[in-house]
């Protein structure tokens, strides 16, 4: 007898063909959504939230677009995740990874319709990905030893990364900023030390890099505006008048003079705390919480610069950069590690006053100040710059470099095609499909630029038939160009991550043969 019902009411299940169909369609839809943002001529998307304030984001960063979408389709969620991971791991290539996975699934769908088992397709894809990676490894250039060449490599990579973003018009300026900032890090991938401050006003060209650290605060009244050889205590402690801090405590007094006594005691307590803080031998005190007038006055009398309400991001970074620790008790000064820097002064950017710490303990520290027409422009500029910084800091560690502009995909496709010819059996169809999926990336780059993609990609293919060709798509002139002359480079690490993540994600979605959605939980009628 057949089992009538296995699941609760409202639970749905889809099996076999339908499940596979649903996951393919979802994944391809996501890939089509972001594919118009790929390449130097990619367009932006406006994302509008329905929450309070209806905030608007304008972006063409694949990860940002996908992160903001609420998606129901389970296969599409897998693609969103790989783009997130790509963003955390290497910073760039977030769109490429989704597009490549989508193309792999599009090819897989044709094969499944031709009655080839998903497992055969998967094993073909596996072999093809390995072959593609080896093809790239043979072609990488590594200029780690030659500092001059390596720096020009970094500049090229930064300019290639930025050319598909909002900063493409001033890409040389920003590439220089990013390379300088990353060179300061001396090989660490900790981007905490690079602080990005956004100040509306001016144009993007007015952005600059400043060594040291800038805190977005004003200096209090009657306090020294400039301190040399500063010793900084970074703290997170309450500096409002110490009231009786017991919830619901009441004090009954029988005369006004007693109230005055209580106030006097409170003031004494505060004065003692301030004395303890000054006893550390500091001349700058940065607190995360607010500082009342009375302690501020005491600090000013002692010639100590007191900064209140330094937001948490700022204070953590300040502690990191000056080499101090965040303190909250001040009874034993010897155990507290103070931060140091050569000079603290007040500077003006646009209309705002900020505090500038220069000559910090951690030499790597620097601040990039972005200027721009509006907050949306600034947000997008920050995202673009962050992508460039991530890629560069990864490249400093893994200094292998490839050409860009669809060149790596052509190299991989050529190698994979050759492998397909040598492979017997059904697997060869899957390997061939893989090479077709790789060709989709240069095709899309050309399509987005409004060029004749079929013509260009077939020209490219012919060019790549010769060994050691550096041909790629030059979208500016709309023809096949020499990537070595144009200086279009990409980091090997980014390409490798795109290739492997996309293959694994496609593989995972291919394995699905059933989708079960559980029934929503019902609220019991509490009558």
pLDDT of amino acid 61: 86
- What's the CATH fold of domain 12-141+403-517? GROEL; domain 1 (1.10.560)
Indicate the pTM of the whole model. Answer: 0.85
Distance CA 235, CA 310 (A): 10
Say what the pLDDT of residue 427 is: 92
- Residue 124: per-residue pLDDT: 94
Q: Where in the chain is the domain with CATH 1.10.560.10?
A: 12-141+403-517
C-alpha distance from residue 417 to each of 409, 433, 440 (Å): 12, 9, 14
- Tokens representing 108? 């897989």
Are 310 and 217 in contact by the 8 Å Cβ rule? The answer is yes
Domain 213-362, CATH 3.50.7.10 — does that match?
yes
Q: Radius of gyration of the chain from Cα atoms?
A: 30
Numbered ranges of CATH 3.50.7.10 in the chain:
213-362
- Cβ burial, residue 230 (10 Å; 0-12/13-18/19+): buried
| Of residues 407, 463, 420, 408, the one with CA closest to residue 107 | 420
How far, in Å, CA of 453 to CA of 479, rounded? 10
Secondary structure in 3-state letters for 228-297: EEEEEEEECCCECCCCCCCCCCCCCCCCHHHHHHHHHHHHHHHHHHHHHHHCCCCCEEEECCCECHHHHH
- In degrees and rounded to multiples of 5, residue 464 shows phi and psi of -75, -5
pLDDT tens track of the chain, all 527 residues?
Answer: 455 667 777 777 888 788 888 888 999 999 999 999 988 888 889 988 887 777 888 888 888 889 888 888 888 888 999 999 998 888 888 999 999 999 999 999 999 999 999 999 999 999 999 999 999 999 888 888 888 888 888 999 999 888 888 888 888 899 998 998 888 877 777 777 788 888 888 888 888 888 888 888 877 777 888 888 888 888 888 877 666 666 667 778 888 888 888 888 888 888 888 888 888 888 888 888 888 888 888 888 888 888 888 777 778 788 878 888 888 888 887 888 888 888 888 888 878 888 888 887 766 778 899 998 888 889 989 999 988 998 998 888 888 899 988 899 999 999 999 999 999 999 999 999 999 999 999 999 999 988 898 999 999 999 888 888 888 888 888 889 898 888 889 999 999 999 999 999 999 999 888 888 887 777 766 65
Task: Output the pLDDT for position 246.
Answer: 63
Sign of CA dihedral 444, 450, 453, 456: negative
pLDDT at 324: 84
The two structure tokens encoding residue 381 = 């500029």
> Tens digits of per-residue pLDDT, 397-446?
888 899 988 899 999 999 999 999 999 999 999 999 999 999 999 999 99
- Give the closest residue to 510 by CA, choosing from 445, 437, 450: 437
Q: What is the chain's percent helix, strand, coil content, to nearest 5?
A: 50, 20, 30
Residues annotated as part of the active site:
61, 94-95, 387
Q: What is the pLDDT of residue 320?
A: 79
Q: What is the mean pLDDT of the chain?
A: 86
């Amino acid at each position: 007898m057949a089992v009538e019902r296995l699941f609760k009411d409202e639970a749905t299940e889809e099996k076999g063909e339908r499940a596979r169909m649903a996951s393919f369609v979802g994944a391809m839809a996501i890939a089509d959504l972001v594919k118009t943002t790929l390449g130097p001529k990619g367009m932006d998307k406006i994302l509008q939230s329905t929450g309070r304030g209806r905030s608007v984001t304008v972006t063409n960063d694949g990860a940002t677009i996908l992160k903001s979408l609420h998606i129901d389709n389970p296969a599409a969620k897998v693609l969103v995740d790989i783009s997130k991971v790509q963003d955390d791991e290497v910073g760039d290539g977030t769109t490429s990874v989704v597009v490549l996975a989508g193309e792999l699934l599009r090819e897989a769908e044709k094969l499944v319709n031709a009655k080839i088992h998903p497992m055969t397709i998967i094993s073909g894809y596996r072999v093809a990905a390995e072959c593609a990676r080896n093809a790239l490894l043979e072609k990488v250039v590594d200029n780690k030893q030659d500092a001059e060449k390596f720096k020009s490599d970094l500049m090229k990579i930064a300019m290639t990364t930025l050319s598909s973003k909002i900063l493409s018009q001033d890409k040389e300026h920003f590439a220089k900023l990013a390379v300088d900032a990353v060179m300061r890090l001396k090989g660490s991938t900790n981007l905490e030390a690079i602080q990005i401050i956004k100040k509306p006003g001016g144009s993007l060209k007015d952005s600059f890099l400043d060594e040291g650290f800038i805190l977005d605060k004003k200096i209090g009244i009657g306090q020294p505006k400039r301190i040399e050889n500063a010793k900084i205590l970074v703290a997170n402690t309450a500096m409002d008048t110490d009231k009786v801090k017991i919830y619901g405590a009441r004090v009954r007094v029988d005369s006004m003079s007693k109230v005055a006594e209580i106030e006097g005691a409170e003031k004494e307590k505060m004065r003692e705390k301030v004395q303890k803080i000054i006893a550390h031998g500091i001349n700058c005190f940065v607190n995360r919480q607010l500082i009342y007038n009375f302690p501020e006055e005491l600090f000013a009398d002692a010639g100590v610069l007191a900064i209140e309400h330094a937001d948490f991001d700022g204070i953590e970074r300040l502690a990191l950069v000056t080499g101090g620790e965040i303190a909250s008790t001040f009874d034993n000064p010897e155990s507290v590690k103070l931060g140091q820097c050569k000079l603290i002064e007040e500077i003006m950017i646009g209309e705002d006053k900020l505090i500038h710490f220069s000559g910090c303990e951690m030499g790597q520290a620097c601040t990039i100040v972005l200027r721009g027409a509006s907050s949306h422009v600034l947000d997008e500029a920050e995202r673009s710059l962050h992508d460039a910084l991530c890629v560069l800091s990864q490249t400093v560690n893994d200094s292998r470099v490839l050409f860009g502009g669809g060149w790596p995909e052509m190299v991989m496709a050529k190698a994979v095609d050759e492998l397909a010819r040598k492979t017997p059996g059904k697997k060869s169809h899957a390997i061939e499909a893989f090479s077709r999926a790789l060709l989709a990336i240069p095709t899309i780059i050309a399509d987005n630029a409004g060029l004749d993609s079929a013509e260009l990609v077939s020209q490219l293919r012919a060019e790549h038939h010769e060994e050691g060709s550096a041909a790629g798509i030059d979208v500016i002139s709309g023809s096949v160009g020499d990537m070595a002359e144009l200086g279009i480079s990409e980091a090997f690490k980014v390409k490798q991550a795109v290739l492997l993540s996309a293959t694994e994600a496609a593989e995972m979605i291919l394995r699905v043969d059933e989708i079960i959605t559980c029934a929503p939980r019902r609220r019991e009628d509490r009558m």
